[in-house]
Amino acid sequence: MTTTASLMAREGGRLGRTATRESAVSRTIAMAVMIVATLYFLTPLWWLFVAATKSRADFTTTAPLWFADFDLFGNIAALFQYRDGVFLRWLANSALYAGVGAALATLFAAMAGYAIAKYTFRGRETLFNVVLGGVLVPATALALPLFLIFSQAGATNTIWAVLLPSLVSPFGVYLSRIYASASVPDEIIEAARIDGAGEVRTFFTVATRLMAPALVTIFLFQFVAIWNNFFLPLIMLRDEALFPVTMGLYVWNTQVSQIPDIRALVVVGSLLSIIPLIVTFLGLQRFWQSGLANGGLK
């Protein structure tokens, strides 16, 4: 008995000690992991930034992770002048594809998700499951079938060839449905109806406000997805004036063996091309965080 008690006491003591020790250890480990992860993600960005400030000669001859002569603005000026400023055009194209595409995709996803969540109709679950299945199909796998379909319609090598396929977001429909179920109470919709609002007006004035955090999330996801979507433009577009910035930089990068000097433009162009993403993320982060947290709580 005494043996057991002392054993238990000892055990308990050890457990207690282990617990405190573990928390210190695990905190250190967690910290270390986060620091490593931060370095892992930020080092390439740092390299990119440093490389973009260098002249062509310094680029190969000086240490890659520290500055030589700071010539970022000279490089940017050269980039904007090259081929009559086609890079600016690409930036504008990307902004158009990603901005308009993400905005409309968000709208459609919100409407679809809201309808599936709030209206009862035959085949509702089937519809939802089919859309959900769309989440599993990678966009890359759809590019070639899309090309053939657009060829049939004679619409390859146009803005629409990139914009139209960007308007669908199965993940957005999924998120909208979940979020609408959780955050738009039926009572509010009923109240709106009693007050005489039509269904469309109820959606735009009541539901979208309650769903705002989810909508921001969808917009961000879709914006990034379109901005980074490279395969679809690669297959669809042949006219340089229609390229998004990712595609344009890729094309330049494949010309390095013919014009080695273009490498400096690719580097500074890459730096500029990620700025809109960073700005969008930081600008919408506030909504986004609250959106994710709300979703988690429900």
Partner 1 sequence: MAISTVARAGAVVAISALALTACSTGGTDAGASGDCTPSDGPVTLTFTTWLPGVEDAVAIWNEENPDIQVEVQTGPNGNGGTYQNFFNQLAAGNAPDLGQIEFDAMPNFRVQDGLENIGACEGILEAEDQFVGWTWSQVTFGEEDAVYAIPQDTGPMAMFYRADLFEQAGIPIPTTWEEYEAAAVQIRALGGYINNFSQSDINAFAGLVWQAGGEWFGQDGENWTVDLTSDESTQVAEYWQGLIDDDLVAVYPPWTDEWNAAYNSSELWTWVSAVWGANTIASGAPDTAGNWAVAPMPQWEAGGSAAGNWGGSTTAVLKGSDHPYEAAQFALWLNTDADSLTAMNASASIYPATIEGANLPAFAEGVEFYGGQKIYEVFAEAGNNVNPDFTWGPTMTQVYNDVADGFAAAVSGNGTLVDALASGQQKTIAALKAASIPVKE
Closest distance between partner 1 and the C-beta of residue 239, in Å?
6
- Find the part of the chain contacting partner 1 (CB under 8 A) among 36-44, 189-197, 233-241, 276-284: 233-241
Rounded-to-10 torsion of CA 102, 105, 107, 113: -130
Give the separation between CA 190 and CA 114, rounded to whole angstroms.
15
Counting contacts by CB under 8 A, is residue 57 touching partner 1? yes
Of residues 43, 195, 261, 286, which one binds partner 1 by CB under 8 A? 261
Give the distance, in angstroms, between the CA of residue 112 and the centroid of all CA atoms in the same chain: 21
Burial class (CB in 10 A: 0-12, 13-18, 19+), 287: middle
Q: Contact letters (x/-) for partner 1, 155-174, by CB under 8 A?
A: -xx-----------------
Residue closer to partner 1, measured from CB, 54 or 177: 54
Judged by CB under 8 A, the chain residues 173 through 232 that form the site for partner 1 are: none
Quote the DSSP letter at residue 224: H
| Only segment of 35-43, 154-162, 169-177, 283-291 that touches partner 1 (CB under 8 A) | 154-162
Among 257, 282, 297, 298, the residue binding partner 1 under the rule CB under 8 A is 257
Q: Give helix then strand counts, H and E, for the chain.
A: 15, 0
Quickly list DSSP for 85-115.
GHHHHHHHHHHHHHHHHHHHHHHHHHHHHHH
* C-alpha span between 32 and 51 (Å, rounded): 28
User: Of 71-79, 144-152, 186-194, 268-276, which part binds partner 1 (CB under 8 A)?
Assistant: 144-152
- Can residue 250 be called a binding residue for partner 1 (CB under 8 A)? yes
* Pick 56 or 118: Cβ nearer partner 1: 56
The least CB distance from residue 125 to partner 1, in Å, is 8
Per-residue buried b or exposed e for 236-275, using 16+ beta carbons within 10 Å of the residue's own CB:
bbeeeebbbbbbbbeebeeeeeeeeebbbbbbbbbbbbee
Q: Tokens standing for 168?
A: 């669908």
Positions touching partner 1 (CB under 8 A) are 56-57, 59-61, 64, 123, 126, 129-130, 144-145, 147-149, 151-152, 154, 156-157, 234-235, 238-240, 250-251, 253-263
